[in-house]
Amino acid sequence: MRKYQWCFLGMLSFLLAAPAIQAGQHNIGFVDIGRVFENTEEGKKILGNLKIEFEKKQKELDEKMKAFEEKAKQFQQQQAVMKDEVRAQKAQELGKEQRDLQQLFLQYQNDINERKARALVDFEGKVVEIVQKIAQREGVDYVLRREMLLFGPEKMDLTNEVIREYDKRYQAAGAKKEKGK
């Protein structure tokens, strides 16, 4: 939902600026923020850490699911000889356990997605500074997100330049922090 709001706001601001753009010759560039996030060293590190965390939670969930499946299998095998009350109680317990596992899965998924979204917001703040610097240097008047663009010539794609500049700036900053320790 949030992605569509940003796209709508971006397109609205672009449409409002269209008369000004038509009045003179302006250069419009674009950047694929997702590709920047996935291809910078910092973005790769963030995604790698999230993947490790997700895999840990997935392993935990898989173990719980395996235990649940074993209980369900035992129930299937023994239900014919159980009293009605015991069978109903066991079925109810298994149903609750299954719902709890589904809820846990959704909780894990939401947690990972939320953490990725927070990391992306922080990351984008840094990217905007770099985009502004590159746009000024390259004589680009407007820079749009790739997602908001229906068409644009590849020569106006600033994504690779943003990735190089981002890594250059923030690897240097990271190296200074490492030396200061």
The answer for residues whose C-beta is within 8 angstroms of residue 71's C-beta and 6 or more apart is 94, 97
Q: Sketch the domain layout of the chain as residue ranges.
A: 2-180
Q: Would you place residue 20 in the very low, low, confident or very high pLDDT band (cuts 50, 70, 90)?
A: very low
What pLDDT shows up at residue 2?
A: 53
pLDDT of residue 181 exceeding 60:
no
Q: Which DSSP state fits 52?
A: H
Task: Go through 5-35 and write b for each residue having 16 or more CB atoms within 10 A of its CB, e for each that does not.
Answer: eeeeeebeeeeeeeeeeeeeeeebbbbbbeb
Q: What is the pLDDT of residues 97-156, one digit of tens each?
A: 999 999 999 998 899 889 888 888 888 889 999 999 999 998 989 898 888 877 878 888
Quote the pTM value: 0.64
CATH code for the structural domain at 2-180: 3.30.910.20
